[in-house]
Amino acid sequence: MEKGYKQGGYIFNVIFKDDPAYTYEYIYMPNNDMTLLVFKDNVGVDSGMKHEPLK
């Protein structure tokens, strides 16, 4: 976890044991918005991962 000093909020980088090829980056903003970015080999992806974004 790291604090996002530029925009406020927090950034959580997660690598799941059952999906180690992907890095899930959850960004929580002070206005209660949560964003998920997923990376494989430092490239953003939107499919193929085991854990889909929460609705």
Rounded CA-CA distance 16/25 in Å is: 11
User: Amino acid letter at 27?
Assistant: I
Tens of pLDDT, residue by residue over 11-48, are 999 999 999 999 999 989 888 788 899 999 999 998 89
pLDDT tier at 54 (50, 70, 90 boundaries)? low
pLDDT of residue 39: 96
List Cβ neighbours of 41 (8 Å cut-off, separation of 6 or more): 21
36 in Cβ contact with 25 (< 8 Å): yes
Say what the pLDDT of residue 34 is: 86
